[in-house]
Amino acid sequence: MRAFGAVLYNDLCRLAGHKPRYFLYLLMVAGGIAVAVFFNSRSAVIGNIALVPGVRGSVQSPGDPVSSPYLNVVEVQEAPPLSDLVAGRFDAIVTDDGQGGFYITTIKDDGFRELLEALLRDPASFTAEQVGARGPGTNIVGFLLMFILMQGVSMAFLISEDIDRGLARRVAAAPVTFIAYLGAHGFFLFVVLLVPVMLSLAVAWLLSGVGLGADLGLSLLEYLHVVALVCALAAAFALFVTTFIQPGDSANMLGSAVAVLTSILAGCFYALERGNAVLAAIIRVLPQKSLLAMAASIEQGDGLSTWLYYELYIGAVIVALAAAAVLKARRDFVRA
């Protein structure tokens, strides 16, 4: 326990000498929450639609534009190329068939096609829950996820310095277990990641309470629950990357790249559903995907039995990453 406390105190003193790095994280957190709240009104939009002239008369009454709060409709003079669907500029192209109906061209799955067709025919009969629109709480969690994962890897420079300078090998020779040593580093990362996020959310929550902000979707206690899991995942991922990749600069670059790529694939900013079975299988196992699903379930008021699976899966990923980091460190630095 003394070793655990000593490592925590040492990390705090060393972080004080790298204030710009931590201030950058504070700005990223505050900016992420501000952007998510600012674009809160767009969180319910499930698709960008290219509307070709002539479709209005067949979808609704003649002359009435297609209008739904869950669709961002852009009228075009002619159908855009399919490359716009692949690039994500549009989610679907809706074209009049000349016989009172319409064609829907999309590279998304059949579920999205059927939902879009129903929305076009009777947009007033759908709620946000029915269309699977993302609420403000899930939207904020999505914006924060990538920033927290990236900064977790960035602030793991404290561990990287120990490894690069040979301190980890000296720790191995002392009567200190690597579980206590890496556990202290991981706990320190967890705390310094969590505290600024919750303080920023508390400020946003207070502003929303006096009418100066938008609905945040989740209570502060619910945010603490979800964000604590995010920070624990970030700390475990940082431990994993820094113990497996040396030197520290390489670990930072690779870890940040992985965090960005997996967060984008998981749909932190935009849901990627391209109908590719292999890609869909990869996305399903990403912990960020489970975190977003868990936040959405809590926001919709679902019971524990609905989202407990996600929490258990995320917890298993955290334990696996941390255990792999400890085993790798023991193998590299502990000598019989």
Dump pLDDT digits (tens) for 306-325.
Answer: 889 999 999 999 999 999 98
pLDDT at 125: 59
Mean pLDDT of 4-18: 78
d(CA 240, CA 244): 6
pLDDT band for 41, please (50, 70, 90 cuts).
Answer: very low
Two tokens, residue 141: 């969690």
Among residues 186, 113, 198, the alpha carbon closest in space to that of 156 is found at 186
Q: Which has more confidence, 141 or 89? A: 141
Q: Does the pLDDT of residue 62 top 60, yes or no?
A: no
- pLDDT at position 281: 81
State yes or no: cis peptide before 81, omega within 30 of 0.
no
How many whole angstroms separate alpha carbon 98 and alpha carbon 142? Answer: 41
Q: What is the pLDDT of residue 173?
A: 62
List the single range of 114-118, 138-142, 208-212, 262-266 with lowest mean pLDDT.
208-212
Across the range 45-61, mean pLDDT stands at: 62
Q: Global pTM?
A: 0.74
- Supply the pLDDT for residue 89: 80
Which residues neighbour 12 within 8 Å (Cβ) at sequence distance 6 or greater?
Answer: 188
Give me the pLDDT at residue 56, please.
47
Residue 4, amino acid: F
* Confidence tier at 55 by pLDDT (50, 70, 90): very low
Terminal alpha carbon distance of the chain = 24
pLDDT exceeds cutoff 50 at 85: yes
Q: Are 143 and 268 in contact (CB under 8 A)?
A: yes
| pLDDT per residue as tens digits for the range 201-241 | 888 878 766 444 456 778 889 999 999 999 999 999 999 99
